Amino acid sequence: EIVMTQSPATLSVSPGERATLSCRASQSVSSNLAWYQQKPGQAPRLLIYGASTRATGIPARFSGSGSGTEFTLTISSLQSEDFAVYYCQQYNNWPLYTFGQGTKLEIK
Amino acid sequence: QVQLQESGPGLVKPSQTLSLTCTVSGGSISSGGYYWSWIRQHPGKGLEWIGYIYYSGSTYYNPSLKSRVTISVDTSKNQFSLKLSSVTAADTAVYYCAREERYYYDSSGLDYWGQGTLVTVSS
């Protein structure tokens, strides 16, 4: 099983600033990585797939990068609605999918 | 607009079988290229993928749950279902259904999700 490790567990950032979230895979997942945003009481929302492709309707301030084992989700200028928990997910080891444990993005 | 909706009992007794159904609207579950998954989230924890089904009935389950999981599809009702047997308190979680668009090894991620349903295992 591929283990996904996200860091940091909690990230405190001020509105308007940039946030950088990391995800590391225990072995290469190529570019087969997605990012999701989850707000309290809601289902996860797909942000990024293919490591860097924004899903439909996702604002341009969200960007993904990386390949192999190291990935980054960047939110260029934080809006109030962006404070949430973010998960990465690998689907390279199809059909066994695994998620990271999440990064909580909180207001500083 | 595709929508998914989970339904089923919110309380299940230990050792019994958890049964949930996901109803898909705004699109056909029989459309090729889509895989239909169940994912769960223990209270305050991360996401655990349970398994998926294709409209043809082809399935794959997380090995950690494989012995207890059955996912089935009813294309006539545009639904797919989850059964998890011999449940314990450790199966208490929010259960989500979700859609993935995939063409062979090329996936667009889990793009549509149900709102989730909390299932509590307790006597």
Give pLDDT tens digits for B50-77: 999 999 999 999 999 999 999 999 999 9
Q: Which residues of A touch B62 (CB under 8 A)?
A: 96
Report d(CA B51, CA B40) in Å as an integer: 10
B89 touches chain A (CB under 8 A): no
Q: Which helix (H) or strand (E) holds A28?
A: none
- The encoded tokens of residue A97 equal 């999918």
Q: Which residues of B touch A49 (CB under 8 A)?
A: 107-109
Q: What is residue A89's predicted lDDT score, i.e. its pLDDT?
A: 97
Provide mean pLDDT across the span B26-34: 92
Give yes or no for B107 touching A (CB within 8 A). Answer: yes
* Residues in contact with B14: Cβ distance below 8 Å, sequence separation at least 6, in sequence order: B87, B88, B89, B121, B122, B123
What chain B residue is nearest to A103 in terms of C-alpha separation? B46
Nearest to B81 by CA among B5, B25, B27: B5
> pLDDT-derived band of residue A34, with 50, 70 and 90 as boundaries?
very high
Q: Provide the pLDDT confidence category of residue A93 given band limits of 50, 70 and 90.
A: confident
Chain B segment 15-74 residues within 8 A of A by beta carbon are 37, 46-49, 52, 60, 62-63
Structure tokens at B83: 């059964």
What pLDDT, on a 0 to 100 scale, did the predictor assign at position A44?
98
- Average pLDDT of chain A to the nearest whole number: 96
Q: A49: exposed, middle or buried (C-beta count within 10 Å: 0-12, 13-18, 19+)?
A: buried
Residue B105 has pLDDT above 90, yes or no: no
Return the pLDDT at B6. 98
Cβ–Cβ contact B5 with A under 8 A:
no
- When the pLDDT of each residue in chain B is averaged and rounded to a whole number, the result is 96
Detail the DSSP E strand segments found in chain B.
3-7, 11-12, 18-25, 34-41, 47-54, 59-61, 69-74, 79-84, 93-103, 106-113, 117-121
Is B15 in contact with B66 (CB distance < 8 Å)?
no
- Closest Cα of chain B to A41: distance in Å? 9
Query: Would you call B91 helix, strand, or coil by DSSP?
Result: helix
- Taking the C-alpha atoms of residue A55 and residue A52, their distance in angstroms, rounded to an integer, is 9
Give the torsion sign (CA, B108, A70, A29, B49).
Answer: negative
Q: What strands lie across the sheet with B18-25, from one edge to the other?
A: B3-7, B18-25, B79-84, B69-74
Question: From the list B47, B98, B108, which residue is nearest A87 (CB)?
Answer: B47
Chain B: residue whose CA lies nearest to A46: B111
